[in-house]
A = this chain, B = another copy of it.
Amino acid sequence: MRHSDSGCSAHHHSCAAAGSVQACVSIVPIFNHLEPVQLEQIMETVQSATYKKGETIYRAGEKSDSLYIVHKGSVKIYRLSASGKEHMVSLLHPGDFTGEYALFSESIHESYGEALEETQMCIIQRDDIHAFLEKYPAISLKILQEFSQKLERSEKQTAYFATEKVETRIALYLVELADKLSSGKTVVLPMSRKDLAAYLGTTPETISRKIADLEAQGLLKQLSKKKLEILDVDGLL
């Protein structure tokens, strides 16, 4: 248990019980193969903060020097283009993390992080991670593995935007969601039309229309605004 909450006051947010902080760290892919001793050490450096719905966690332009891990709730990571348009980079759920870029070089945030609901995050300072990696260098390989997968996913994403039209991107998103949830053929959209549009590089109106089109083609069925039943996976691809 230890003094996991040290330094937390600096974040003007209430602190988590040490027990849940441990749960938070141990579910992160990067850390989930650590020895108990190592986990213990990481734990001592973890801070915790909670954010209310709609609250900003960090802004583009701010100095970036910590790893943020979602413990409870969900977080939207987005960018603003020069023209003011929003692009959602990712939606984080418990166990997901952000701020990786900062870990290995001085850097500033290029994106925004915003809590979509009451959210609790675990925060680890760069210097602590550095010290840890220098002590247990084998961990670096795990992180490299995680990074290279993330990089490949990002390039695939870019390719979709470059080559596929909106309808295809929406269909691909739905199929991917169905695979991930593996909840038979019913899919629950995890966000609003507006956010979905920002994620897929389109507008809420177009999302509505395309989903209606896909329904008209008999490829899926809208059970409610957020719940869709996929009828023909192959047809969507």
Contact of A162 among B137, B159, B161, B163 (CB under 8 A): B161
Name A68-107 residues within 8 Å CB distance of B.
79, 81-83, 85-87, 89, 100-101, 103-105, 107
Bound form: Cα–Cα A133–B139 in Å = 12
A138 an interface residue at 8 Å Cβ cutoff? yes
CB distance from A61 to the nearest CB of B (A): 14
Indicate with 1 or 0, residue by residue over A226-237, a CB within 8 angstroms of chain B CB atoms. 000000000001
A208 an interface residue at 8 Å Cβ cutoff? no
A9 an interface residue at 8 Å Cβ cutoff? no
Question: Which A residues contact B (CB, under 8 angstroms)?
Answer: 79, 81-83, 85-87, 89, 100-101, 103-105, 107, 110-111, 133-134, 137-138, 140-141, 143-145, 147-152, 154-164, 168, 200-201, 237
Q: List 29 A-B contacts (CB under 8 A).
A: A79-B156, A79-B159, A81-B159, A81-B163, A82-B237, A83-B163, A86-B163, A87-B159, A87-B163, A89-B158, A100-B151, A101-B148, A103-B144, A104-B141, A105-B148, A111-B155, A134-B141, A140-B140, A140-B141, A140-B144, A147-B147, A151-B154, A154-B154, A158-B158, A158-B161, A161-B161, A161-B162, A161-B201, A162-B200
